[in-house]
Structure 1
Amino acid sequence: MQLRRHAIVWPIHDWPEMARTWRRTEELGFEGAWIYDHLAWRGHTPWDDAYASLAAAAAVTSRVRLGTLVTSPNFRTPVPTASAIRTIDRISGGRLTLGIGAGGTEHTSDGDVLDREWSPRERADRFEEWVDQLDLLLTGAAVSATGQHWSMRGVTVSPGLVQHRPPFWIAGNGPRGLRLAARHGQGWIANPISETPYAEVRERLARLADACADAGRDVATMPRLLLTGFTDEPWLASRQAYDDLAGRYAEIGITDVALHWPRPGSEWDADPAVFEEIAAG
């Protein structure tokens, strides 16, 4: 099986260049175009807002699916996030996919990183509540919920959505995250960071299949996206290197792969010609 190919776009250039990049992503035939949802990243600023960027991208494209990779509850609260999701879904004509995850350990509020870290349990608790509330907001009317972290009363967001609810592709790796993906996810995201990424992904895929079975779902119906670029695997070294890796991961159940747009002078530098050749299939 050939993996569906997705591109990760860097929101770091002035708009005329960013518009050309979004359009070129679509022209190259990528299945999806994704953007990291950060305030800044690894010291790079300006770093444009993900949701504002996706709204602009939706206006200059017509086919490619658009998404965040990933949105988290670290600085996005449920109600305004749901409203932004609805808006981009409408502008794009139903082309939005929500990559969502628990986020990093730092407690981020209003753009300021505070001097504490979330424990694994706190992160899991917050993420589960956040996903549950997003799901309610994007599927119901006059939503009321009282949670440990967020509450709302009589909020209506969902009318006007093009998609019944934009699909959630959930980056969940631990037992709770995998159960959440099985319960609410229309897709799953793998982000291996170990020195043995293939073994890491294979083991997580097996646990995802178990979680789906426990939830009465067939894991085969769920897209499974591999985020590349954070290990030593040479995905963009050559077309042959890509084909070899794609074949190996397809054999264990990965269905989609996300590749970073080449970024000169960074660890994501690559030959644009190879990138475009891979995009062509």
Structure 2
Amino acid sequence: MTPLRSALWLPIFEELADPAAVARLAAEAEEAGWHGVFVWDHLRWREPVRRVADPWITLAAIAAATRRVRFGPMVTPLARRRPPKVARETATLDRLGDGRLTLGVGLGSDRFAGEWSATGEELDDRRRGGMLDESLEILTAAWSGGPVRHHGRHYTVDGVSFLPRPVQRPGVPVWTAGLPGNVRPLRRAARHDGFFPVNLEHPDELAEAVATLAGLREGRTSPYDIAVALPPGADPGPYADAGATWWLAEFAPHTVSLDRVRGVLRDGPADSGRPGTG
């Protein structure tokens, strides 16, 4: 069985809207034996949250402050981002972190804070799904180092090369988010490097998704990750038994604070024998 790795999964709101403060947390987490630090990607959140940080600037600060932990947005809704810009950002960020970036992606949703409708973004799930898939095609081609020639329904990139390439080969690992019982996100996840199930209620749901992914990925031998978000104090063991390779310690967005995160990270990662309870 693959050892379960542990990461902090941080809503970068209020006290955590300071990139320097989050970078210090990431350095402390690395020292305490954690394996990753991932951040939310939102433009705004529901009241009483008012202060929100940019994930990419925050991730650059994390990359510069650490040497071993993996980091990345978990997840970024690619449908509201221009793929060529993301290609440049991810390659540069992976080089800054010496090959430690993981790109979490998903459809996003307007239901959390109305941020999509408030900024005129695409609201149709099916259309956003097409934009997500095209974006991933462009990113995969861009990370290869060769000229990207993409003429799709949503995006055009005509003969542009994105150098220097990321440190990681063949490119930055991509984890895709989705409901575990929905076949389309599982098919998307099977084409990439990991799956991040959302609204997971029981280990049996995860085991079923893992079995489906194994069938979809039959014949492929590349490493594959399954990340589950659970609150500090929860037992990730049953999820590890069901196939999880990462535990992401989740924090409530309305109450997250530097002290709360620091208490959890000091309790140590799950593989220390006692998941954080701070």
TM-score (norm 2): 0.82
| Structure 2: unaligned runs, 5 residues or longer | 273-278
SS in 2 for 1:154: strand
Report if the CA contact (8 A) 2:94-2:100 is conserved: yes
Instruction: State the match for 2:276 in structure 1.
Output: none
* Alpha-carbon distance, 1:272 to partner: 5.3
1:9-158 superposed matches below 5 A = 9-11=10-12, 12-43=16-47, 44-104=49-109, 112-114=118-120, 117-119=123-125, 121-158=126-163
Distance across 2 between alignment mates of 1:45 and 1:143:
39
Equivalent residue for 2:190?
Answer: 182
Against the structure 1 CA distance between its residues 144 and 87, is the aligned structure 2 distance closer, same or farther, given a 3 Å change threshold?
A: same
Q: How many angstroms apart in 1 are the aligned matches of 2:262 and 2:128?
A: 38
* Cα pair distance change 1:115/1:51, threshold 3 Å: closer
Could you tell me the percent identity over the aligned residues? Answer: 31
3-state SS of the aligned residue for 1:53? Answer: helix
How many residues align structurally? 261
Matched residue type, 1:25:
A
Give the CA RMSD over aligned residues.
3.0
Structure 2: distance between partners of 1:252 and 1:72: 27
Give 1:62 shift.
Answer: 1.2
- 1:204-243 to structure 2, matched below 5 A, reads 204-213=209-218, 216-217=219-220, 221-228=223-230, 235-237=231-233, 242=234
**Runs of 4+, deviation exceeding 4 Å:** 105-109, 261-264, 269-275
The equivalent residue for 2:238 is: 248
1:162 aligns with 2:170: no
1:236–1:270 Cα contact (<8 Å) kept: no
Amino acid at match of 1:102: L
Once the two structures are TM-superposed, the CA of residue 50 in structure 1 deviates from its matched residue by 0.8
The higher relative CO (CA closer than 8 Å, separation ≥ 6) is in 2
5+ long unaligned stretches in structure 1: 229-234
